[in-house]
Amino acid sequence: MGFTPLEGLMMGTRSGSVDPGILTYLMRQRKLSGQQLDEVLNQKSGLLGVSGISSDMRQILAASKNGDDPAKMARAKLALDIYVHRLRSGIGAMIAVLGGVDALVFTAGVGENSPEVRAAVCDNFAFLGLKLDQEKNASPLENDRAISASDAGVRVLVIHAEEDWMIARQCWNLVRQQSSG
C-alpha cells in the first residue's frame, strides 16, 4: 500500500494501482465528481468491478470454472487473470529490488485460502527454483506451513495473518507508553 490502500495489488473492491489517465478520463467522459471517483476506486473496482460477480475470490474461482453464463464466466476469468498477473508483477518487482528471494510467503484471505491462486502465481517463478508441493498446497490450512517441494530452491510458506493479534499488540504498547509517560 502507498498513501492509501488503493495503491498496489487489486483487491476485492479496490482498484489497486491504475494509470492516472483513467481518473481524468472518468471525470471527463463519465462526468464523475471526486466523491464518485473515490467510490468507484474504493468500492466498485477490483475483483468486483472486473468480474461483475463478487469481491470474493472463492466466487470468482467458481464462476471462472463452471459458470452457467459464458459472459459471466469470461469476466470471472478476466478478473482472476488480472489479479494473478498483478500479483506476479508485484512479486517480480520485489525480487528485483531485493536482488533475489529466499522465501515467498502467502498470507491473509486469498493467500491463506486459495491454492489455485498460489499455484498460478508460483508457476511463473519456477526459473528461480520456486516449486510447490502440489499436495501440500491443495490441503486445507490448519497451521502455518511450508508448501514448497522438498527440492525447491526457494521456500514457499503459508502463514496466518493474525491481524487482530497485531492490532492488540499495538494497542497494548500504546497503553504502556501512556501510563509510563
CATH of domain 101-181: 3.30.420.40
- Residues with Cβ within 8 Å of residue 175, at least 6 apart in sequence: none
Cα–Cα dist 113/115, whole Å: 6
Per this entry, what is the length of the chain? 181
pLDDT in tens, 84-127: 999 999 999 999 999 999 999 999 889 988 999 999 999 999 99
Amino acid, single-letter form, for residue 109 = G
CATH architecture of 1-100: 2-Layer Sandwich (3.30)
Cα–Cα dist 97/139, whole Å: 32
Cα–Cα dist 6/26, whole Å: 17
Given a cut of 70, the residues of the chain with pLDDT beneath it are: 1, 67, 181
Where along the chain do the CATH 3.30.420.40 domains lie?
1-100, 101-181
